[in-house]
Amino acid sequence: MMTYKKYTGTVTFDDEAEIFHGEVVGLRDVVTFQGSSVSELKKAFRDSVDDYLAFCQERGEQPEKPVSGKFLIRIRPELHRRLIIEAAREGMSLNQLAEHRLEVA
């Protein structure tokens, strides 16, 4: 994974074409990049993010923000209740317990 201006890119290698392909993740828009070397790939990633931001500005649109750290999850009420009780026993908030569990997973 690569990070630039808080945007994250994932990379795969195409053995037949001998080229790296990447995509900026977490966006509805498709932002891709490629390179035949690591340095070329890094530059293409940065250029793609900069191009995406410039394109949004030209169109008068707000670019999608990199991940905010918030997400909504729906679970069964019984599980929700059990997790609240467990968090209280651990002296944590439900968010702290969930974050801890996700980090461990």
pLDDT given at position 45: 98
Strand pairing partners for 20?
Answer: 13, 35
| pLDDT tens for each residue of 55-95 | 999 999 999 987 777 788 999 999 999 999 999 999 999 99
pTM of the model: 0.67
- Residue 26 contacts residue 43 (beta carbons within 8 Å): no
- Mind listing the pLDDT tens digit for each residue in 4-15? 999 999 999 999
CB 22, CB 44: distance < 8 Å: yes
Residue 59: CB atoms within 10 A of its CB come to: 9
Task: Look at residue 28 and tell me whether its pLDDT is greater than 90.
Answer: no
* b/e code 22-32 from CB counts within 10 Å (16+ = b): bbbeeeeeebe
